[in-house]
Structure 1
């Protein structure tokens, strides 16, 4: 068991940590118990530590954790052990000890991961799945129906359940013929090819008899259903291909993008979606000296096909949402409903987990997909071989969404080499140079993206990002799992660099500040952990008149009539909807208008309203974007 001082040092060394939770701990509240539940349930995490009496100083130059102390440590210990034993469906027994850090008492509680047969732990007065929590990154998040599939391997998968109102008339003969053709190429002697259509569907788990009538399972409808059946029974299960001009989501609601909606049998959709995207991609070839065969220098087709197949196989079909494929000027983003069943850090490792095993089996038998968990590793290898930045993956448990990001930018082209030469004085390693190019293309980078780009662990990523932050190439935003980095003071864009290096007065450090070796007083943990460091930053001011000018008089009157305290959140939500009826507003602007703190407005109103589809993000592809703003969701008239 680690000591409190070691855990505090760990928190200050890494910008995010999924196995340590720091709390003020003046009382054992719901959030502490949610962390207990999350550490107990999270597969493969091995448990985690809860530190009580530790806080983070946010106003310092570099946010730092310090020991604030617990006054009634005996009482807090007793309350924690008592509630862990009584609040859940089964007793949880954390190991608890009190330590002194610089004269202040800190409680260290270690919560072990439960054996598979005892998961999930959940609050005894709540039902599953909502009463259970998982540890996702550095946050505790409610479980969903898909999480139960992780915990209960014996539970029937969703794709094996029957679709009410379906029948054999909904089966597409063309889709069945395509399956036989693809299967025959893999194994022309496969036994199932000798079956008639009904027996074939039954053997694949695509139909079952219910009360004497044959009905389709979700696997049957999705794999072999007619388009008209998909529209009637699964109206939101489709693929939306969206073309966005430029490199970011457009603000103009009247001229944002063009979109193509596609639906039908999954076996047919693979080639249809693939062809639609490849027709839009830039194509280039190079003829090496002495060679007769030209080589393609575009996005590898196998990478794109793998990403499409993964989205179709691994998405959750419990959610009535389409797959979105967004084509920006410099990248492709594929967003499918359903978080990854494998942790982000384990993507690319052998072994595959699928929430749709019947669908995955058909794709494997027709050689459209592999089931050994090597798809991600193959994508990374092919992108690097094509001299492209590796793909990045983002699994968002809270939004129940998985994103694959494929940059179309060739790494270390002639322009990139010239651009990177402006940063020579900083002594960056190859991993950090990749991060610079990624940040220039996408606008921001986080610890997870850095690890995926460079194949490093969290400590190496944190160390490199901290080094770039100290050199003011990057600027840190957010905290905990929401930490990300944007361009800093010394980050020079391609337009600024042009043909010359930065002026000596800007790029050359003064003698007493060696940028290759961070200053000792900034890179090392603070000497004292018992008191917060002195605040070095001033709050950013916002012009109230400028913000108020963006909204109408009627909305201003509603704001002025708001009570200082109200127990009805719908009153505030109605005002927020009125505020952003026609324009985007930032969280800081809402906070200024409503007279509340920014954190409170985001936690209490903006995030729930995003989840309930009342608001939309300005930058949906990067939730933590530094210029993130919100607008009222438009009603779908279709």
Structure 2
């Protein structure tokens, strides 16, 4: 970052291709365009760009007072997902005699072109503009020369015939590139994909990430590129296999299936009565949290290994294990506060497709949703050198309400003994019978007489009240029940 002395010198001579000065504090489009342009570093001199807020074009201070809200707003630009790949930037406040300055230092990206909402912005002298095709080609070639990750390397031996072109055109490109730009882009699909990091023009073949995302048969080149779901009966792998499924198609095709599978087959939602007239929905495993953990495994896994992602469900928990341990700057000590990407282009595509909501905060949201649903917080296991595992335990509230008892045998002894021949109609008839005998009967008395849990009794009373079979008169405590019809 600049020193205060260097900053004063810049204000004395502000005209430069890597300096943008503004008095605005609200024009987020302008800020993001400048950050995008600095990241692209079209001249290629590897110099940082500086967005300076709080001064006139001539360098005179505007008298701005930089508060924490403005600092936070500028810092959030890095992770809000609008600029991809993520910019490398730092934000700092300088307090000068004539007012404050907020300075955003932007490092040149190693993986240009960088896009802001699908558009490539570059710096031409002291102004910025959308890149021309020739300028985009320069940035694309620079990206190729900086290839360091597996997903951006050429998949030697593949051709355009190995990817689902219709899927790319219909599902991916319209989301990755602004519609008006895509309509005017007359380049071959190879060059369009190359500009996004999914085709290698030197070897004239798709990248590894392209095959994984859009390949017609990705397993042919990456045998471990699939998700293996297994539902075991019991609490370990010695139990009987109740259900299994393999998601082995390309990610663009499978992500929507995995999303639906988690929501409909894994996350079981049930209404739990809170009072006689109110109920709340609870799940054994909350959908969004489970989905996020699985999507993170897909995004961060090591695709060079032949091992799949293990998505294993037991009676009391879910375990998700993906090949590849913590990556890059991430360590057990700084997780999840620090993030790094083993597969930045796959991560970028998943963001574009809508399966990663926002970088760097998913784990916090997962833990919050688990806690609110009655689950324990997810446990992250870093003990494996070549793998990463997360454990999500089933919701205690879900099982305490009487759901899923057959899947949680450890809890069976806590529940009242019931007649196995008892049906919902029998229970309703017994409740009516007890109310007629004692209109002032309490919920606890009904629990004892019928051998049901508190939530079960509340459930039946709530439903019967809704259907007009019974009604409660007077206060919750001390009132009386009335049978309206049998």
TM-score after normalising by structure 2: 0.48
Answer with 1 or 2: which has the greater Rg: 2
TM-score after normalising by structure 1: 0.37
Which structure carries more strand by proportion? 2
